[in-house]
Structure 1
């Protein structure tokens, strides 16, 4: 009889442990995070840093699983925002360029030669225009949490040095799937060719395209010089901030504590990645030069020639972006 009671109590205790275990596992939650580049690049490192901070601060109750190389959208980086908005992806560290087809206001950052330097970028992302851009993202079912940085995009090619618009005449330049990029390079006399990054390196290798544009971090880590890109022009023609964001329904399902944790971790990861990316640029440029790449830096007259050649792009795109946001960005940059 005593033995029977002992077994009954043991069974009850084990059942209680099982209930507690199930309860704990039910509380633990994993969110999928999409990113275009792996952690070999600052972009991917930003996502991994976010995941690391969230796991630490939630004691593993909330975790982020990073899926790099656009694998959740079969390599089509321009579908990332739509997939997150629809709930196929829980969260992302994404590019303003890649999300701009669904959020036209993000084209603000792709206006050619609009933001002259990092101070201008910081003034916009940290100012009224940045808030307006975040509002635009949120109005489309995605909650933006923090900024990161992919950096100013520079131009490379396999034909020769480029220091004036005429040097681009007829060159096939790989661009992302954004109509604004098509219009910018068409205005400069080039032949823009849209393709995903997965297809870009093979196209550069075979000579199907003559050039491409990307931040120094991508040029350096991806060793773009090894696929015939022997000439690099530093022209800072546009900047590509990254955005840490979460699907609206996922966000609504989180507790207030979890939301605060997720946002704080995103802001910290973003600030960390921005600082790292900027600190590494001089070293990256030196490494690129050491590998034999011819680097062209524009003087003010040369720079203004490119500005003048793309004025028509501003006229066409300002209404699409929203003149209010563009004017707010100008005021931010002027410190008004």
Structure 2
């Protein structure tokens, strides 16, 4: 037999149940907050490992109260890596470990790192990112609605091709080279006499396989892990023509919603994950090169004179791009490199 409760009692009971459910949901939300992290490459590559390292450190030090969920392969922007910065700025992405190349369409100052042959070695990269120029770059990013937290490194980009040894600009004459979606890359390879062909990485490997393009440029880590030698790329030229630092960053609104402790935790772990990834990437370079050579790839190292020939051939690129990047920023970078 059903017991009867007055409507006023039912109302009170309903309110109590709703209040209890809301309190439970609120407590759960306080206990754990998940933020998305976008990255272009999976954890098979150092880039993806940097994002996962960040996530692991945050979960460990927050006791699970703050978690980062990594979305590799540009999943959050449907594979279009050049949209990552815009998506983060608009709030579709909470956090990212992104490339200076991919973010340069929205932050022109990031083209600093793509200027050909500006930074000859790792010491030069560190001098730029760790000095006044690096601070200026971070200010430019923050001015566009994204909070930069730390540096990582995708590494120096080397040149590979299926045609033969390349040790002077004339060897590039007419070769179709796959490049990322940046006008600066188009200008650099055009200055060298090549035929730069812009395409996504998803399209690049099939194009290399069929011979639709003759070559590509990427860090050795990408060449090694992606086994680019298996698609006919049997010649690699080590020329360190540009370095692609990675940047750990947060959406501005997401950052503002965090407590001071959460902000400190995210920044501290980003700096630590970045430093870890930079060291790992550099330590693995010699081993990767040896593995690539063992697989039958011919590796060409340039003499000082050969290197200078490429520098001279791309000098006019600076005339066009320094005004876009900012003369003060480029000068700060050059001063840092010269002072090291």
Residue 121 of structure 1 corresponds to: 125
Q: Who is 2:51 aligned against?
A: 47
Which residue of the other structure, out of 309, 325, 331, is the alignment partner of 2:335? 331
Of 174, 179, 192, 1:188 maps to: 192
Within-5 A mapping of 1:200-219: 200-219=204-223
Runs in 1 of length 4+ with deviation above 4 angstroms? 13-20
The CA deviation at 1:16 is 9.2
Q: 1:59 to 1:17 in 2, by over 3 A?
A: farther
1:135 to 135, 139, 148: 139
Report the 3-state secondary structure (helix = DSSP H, G, I; strand = E; otherwise coil) of the residue aligned with 1:153.
strand
Alignment partner of 1:268 out of 272, 291, 312:
272
Which residue of the partner structure matches residue 25 of structure 1?
28
Distance in 2 of aligned mates of 1:126 and 1:42: 21
Quote the residue 1:69 is aligned against. 73
CA distance in 2, matches of 1:199, 1:108: 27
Query: 3-state DSSP class of the match of 1:262?
Result: helix
**How far off its partner does 1:266 sit?**
0.2
1:139-163 deviation digits (Å, cap 9, x = unpaired): 0000000000000000000000000
Shift in CA distance, 132/158, structure 1 to aligned 2, threshold 3 Å:
same
Matches within 5 A, 1:1-336: 21-27=24-30, 28-335=32-339
RMSD (Å), alpha carbons = 1.7
Q: C-alpha displacement at 1:287, in angstroms?
A: 0.0
Change (3 A) 1:227 1:87: same
Question: Could you report, residue by residue, the CA deviation over 1:2-34 in whole angstroms, capped at 9, with x for unpaired residues?
Answer: xxxxxxxxxxx9999866642331112111111
Q: Give the whole-Å Cα distance in 1 for the aligned partners of 2:64 and 2:27.
A: 11
* Gaps in structure 1 of 5+ consecutive residues: 1-12
TM-superposed CA distance for 1:334, in Å, is: 2.1
Question: For 2:339, what is the secondary structure of its paired residue?
Answer: coil
In structure 1, what is the Cα distance between the partners aligned to 2:138 and 2:67?
A: 24
Deviations 1:208-228 (A, max 9, x none): 110000000000000000000
Residues of 1 paired with 2:17 and 2:295: CA distance? 65
**What is the distance in 2 between the residues matched to 1:65 and 1:223?**
27
TM-score by length of 1: 0.94
Unaligned runs of 5+ in 2: 1-15
